[in-house]
Structure formats: structure tokens, C-alpha cells
């Protein structure tokens, strides 16, 4: 039984999943311009929480943050930085049970190009930066026609808790119990 997805995503913290390849996060290396790429990381990556805040409910516009940074674009790629936040439109595709994320007042959508293998890539599992490309629609029987590379799920993160028990805490320096 599938749950009904809301047309307007409520404010909250979410793990954003690419429909084709898993959870999104941000890279660990900040560029010279203090920008960190929004990526689809390597397998085994622990999902990061993205803060989603409604800016204008009638336009379904949002600000998306991660790790204290706002998400923005440079025309081709999505990144996180301390710059002024970019406004994004998050739209439900009921047929796909997923959402598209487009730049406000454009048809440029977050795009996970998937497992494309380029000759210049050293490792097939290296993270891929989320791109920004025109929203692609085609007519497919029973589906919206939106490319799966441009569809995302927003899931409330499950809190990780240790089972109850007696734990010893050790110093990272001396490896002795504290």
C-alpha cells in the first residue's frame, strides 16, 4: 500500500533520493569559491539531511539547505554554499510517486545523469555532481514521461539510536576507557 504524497511538501528535514541511484549528499572538498558540490555519492554513503523550507506555497517555491549551506546553481551544476539561497520549485509527479526540483521561473531541473561512464572518470563509483538541465518529458504509457534522471523522493530520515546497554567510552588519543 503506497502512501499519498503531498502536493506541497511541508517544511522539514528530508533525505533526498535520486530515483535512479540513491541518496544525495554534499562533497567533502570545498572548491576555491567556497562551493561544495551536491552529489550522488559512492555506494555505502550515509545519507545526509536536507532542510526544505517553503518560501511561497502558491508557487511551490522552496529553499533547500544541507549542512548549514544553501543550495544554488551555476547554470549547469548544483552546489551548496554560504551564498544567498536559490529558490527551487518542487513539483509532485503523481504518476511517478516522486518530485521534480526546478529552478524558480525556469524549466531547469536537478538531474542525476546516472551511471554514465566517461573515459575521464577514474572510478565508476566516484560521486557524481547533480546537474541542472531542461526538464525532459516524453510520452510513455502509464508514466508522466519525466525522465527518471530528474525524479527525486523526499523521505523523513530515520533517527539512528544505539540499543540500550552498558557502553564503555574510550579516548581516541590513548585508547583507554574514560
> Domain containing 92 — which CATH number?
2.80.10.50
Supply the mean pLDDT for the chain. 82
Q: Could you tell me which of 41, 128, 125, 21 has the C-alpha nearest to residue 77? A: 128
Whether residue 48 lies inside any domain: the answer is: yes
Domain span at residue 18?
12-155
pLDDT in tens, 30-83: 665 677 888 877 666 677 899 999 999 999 999 999 999 999 999 899 999 999
Share of the chain above pLDDT 70, in %: 72
Which carries the bigger pLDDT value, residue 67 or residue 118? 67
Whether residue 112 lies inside any domain: the answer is: yes
| Mean pLDDT value of segment 16-39 | 80
- The pTM of this model reads 0.79
Whether residue 128 lies inside any domain: the answer is: yes
- Is residue 19 within 8 A of residue 27, CB to CB? The reply is no
Residue 59 — φ and ψ, nearest 5°? Answer: -95, 0
Whether residue 40 lies inside any domain: the answer is: yes
Whether residue 177 lies inside any domain: the answer is: no
- Is residue 59 within 8 A of residue 82, CB to CB? The reply is no
User: What is the reported pLDDT for 122?
Assistant: 46
pLDDT in tens, 154-164: 999 876 555 66
Q: Could you tell me which of 28, 170, 146 has the C-alpha nearest to residue 94? A: 146
Place of cell 510513455: 140
Whether residue 166 lies inside any domain: the answer is: no
β-pair partners for 36: 80
| Mean pLDDT value of segment 105-112 | 95
Whether residue 163 lies inside any domain: the answer is: no
Residue 96 — φ and ψ, nearest 5°? Answer: -100, -5
| Mean pLDDT value of segment 110-133 | 69
Whether residue 135 lies inside any domain: the answer is: yes
Report the DSSP pairing between strands 88-93 and 131-134.
unpaired
Share of the chain above pLDDT 90, in %: 48
Flag whether pLDDT at 1 surpasses 50: no
Three-state DSSP at 101 gives strand
| Non-local CB neighbours of 41 within 8 Å, separated by 6+ positions | 23, 24, 25, 127
| Mean pLDDT value of segment 128-142 | 80
Report the number of distinct structural domains present in the chain. Answer: 1
Flag whether pLDDT at 127 surpasses 70: no
Amino acid at each position: 500500500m503506497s502512501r499519498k504524497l503531498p502536493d506541497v511538501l511541508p517544511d522539514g528535514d528530508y533525505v533526498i533520493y535520486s530515483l535512479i541511484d540513491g541518496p544525495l549528499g554534499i562533497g567533502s572538498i570545498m572548491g576555491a569559491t567556497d562551493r561544495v558540490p551536491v552529489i550522488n555519492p559512492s555506494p555505502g554513503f550515509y545519507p545526509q539531511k536536507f532542510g526544505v523550507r517553503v518560501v511561497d506555497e502558491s508557487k511551490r517555491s522552496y529553499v533547500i539547505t544541507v549542512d548549514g549551506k544553501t543550495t544554488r546553481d551555476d547554470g549547469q551544476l548544483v552546489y551548496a554554499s554560504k551564498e544567498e539561497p536559490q529558490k527551487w520549485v518542487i513539483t509532485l509527479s503523481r504518476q511517478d510517486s516522486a518530485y521534480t526540483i526546478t529552478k524558480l521561473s525556469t524549466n531547469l531541473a536537478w538531474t542525476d545523469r546516472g551511471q554514465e561512464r566517461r573515459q575521464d572518470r577514474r572510478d565508476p563509483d566516484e560521486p557524481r555532481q547533480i546537474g541542472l538541465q531542461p526538464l525532459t518529458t516524453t510520452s510513455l504509457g502509464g508514466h508522466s514521461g519525466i525522465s527518471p534522471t530528474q525524479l527525486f523522493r523526499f523521505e523523513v530520515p530515520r533517527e539512528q539510536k544505539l540499543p540500550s546497554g552498558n557502553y564503555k567510552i574510550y579516548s581516541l588519543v590513548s585508547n583507554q576507557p574514560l
